[in-house]
Amino acid sequence: MRSRVSVSLASPEFRRWWSEHRVFRRTFGTKRLHHPIVGELAVDFETLTLPGDPDQTLYVYATPPDSPAREAMNLPANWTQPQMHAVVGT
């Protein structure tokens, strides 16, 4: 991967874009993540900026119902839920 410095030296167009800092934020979409146990996941995300504090951002990730990603997310979630044990009376 080329560094910003080498790209700046090679590309006048990049230098202009970089100096203008015209970076557009993606506020929603789909991200591909890799979980070490369940593998590849496609999750939808939404970025919410608080009106009273634009320096804070809330990122919400969700998986569509009945999707492979939802099924994969349910697997580790089940590991953390307490198990119900039957109580045998005397």
In a domain, 6, yes or no: no
Exposure class string for 15-39: b at 16+ Cβ within 10 A, else e: eeeeeeeeeeeeeeeeeeeeeeebe
What range does the domain containing 33 cover? 25-79
User: Identity (one letter) of the amino acid at 70?
Assistant: R
pLDDT at 47: 92
Residue 4 lies in a domain: no
For the residues 21-45, what does the mean pLDDT come to? 86
More confident residue, 22 or 44: 44
pLDDT, the chain, mean: 81
> How far is 80 from 84, CA to CA, in rounded Å?
12
Give the total number of structural domains in the chain.
Answer: 1
Assessment of whether the complete model's pTM goes beyond 0.75: no
In a domain, 10, yes or no: no
82 has pLDDT over 70: no
Cβ atoms of 48 and 57 closer than 8 Å: yes
